[in-house]
Amino acid sequence: MNDTISTTTGAPDMTALQLEVAEQIVAALNLEMTASDIEADAPLYGEGLGLDSIDILEVALVLSKRYGFSLRADNEDNVRIFASLASLTEYVAAHRTL
């Protein structure tokens, strides 16, 4: 279970960084939902949020600008990093320079 950091808009089980990342996903992809609608552990690909490889590149671009790192991945890593909002946020937290 992730630390619960109280925010005014976030879902109760979302960390502040998760919410921030979720907000950028929603904005970058014009998704029909709010950031707090994205479940931390639900898959981002396919049946979950329904993101495809085009989306992943868009999200990667936005996150790299915001947090100052470049995603470098072979295929397997890519699937793992984008498995869920939680795993993506974990990756951001570990690699951010901004």
Partner 1 sequence: MLPTPPLLHAHPDAIVAWRAGHPVTRRVFMAHAAQVADSFPPGRHLLNACHDRYRFAVTLVAGMLSGRVNLMPSTYTPEVVRQLAEFAPDTFVVDDGVDAARHPGLPEHRFPDALPSTATDADTLLALPPEQLVSWVFTSGSTGAPVPHPKTWGKLVLNTRAAAQQLGLNTGERDATTAGTSVGGASAAITVSFWAKAPPTTPTARSLSQTPGADGADLPPFTLIGTVPPQHMYGFESTILLALQGGGAFVAERPFYPADILATLAATPGPRVLVTTPYHLRTLLAADEAKPPVELLISATAPLPPELARQAEQAFAAPLLEIYGSTETGQIATRRPCADARWHLFPGIQLEDRDGTTWARGGHVETPVPLGDQIVLEDSEHFTLQGRGADLINIAGKRTSLDYLNHQLQHIPGVTDAAYYMPDEDHGGVTRLAAFVVAPGVTRADIVAALRERIDPLFLPRPLLMLDALPRNATGKLPRDVCKQLLAAHHAGRSGRSPQ
Q: Which is nearer to partner 1, 3 or 32 (CB)?
A: 32
Query: 3-class DSSP state for residue 21?
Result: helix
Binding residues vs partner 1 (CB under 8 A): 30-32, 46-47, 50, 52-54, 57-58, 60-61, 64-65, 70-73, 75, 78
- CB nearer to partner 1: give 15 or 67: 67
Closest distance between partner 1 and the C-beta of residue 77, in Å?
10
Question: Quick one: which of 98, 90, 29 has its CA closest to 64?
Answer: 98
Taking the least distance from each CB to partner 1, the nearer of 9 and 53 is: 53
| End-to-end Cα separation, the chain, in angstroms | 26
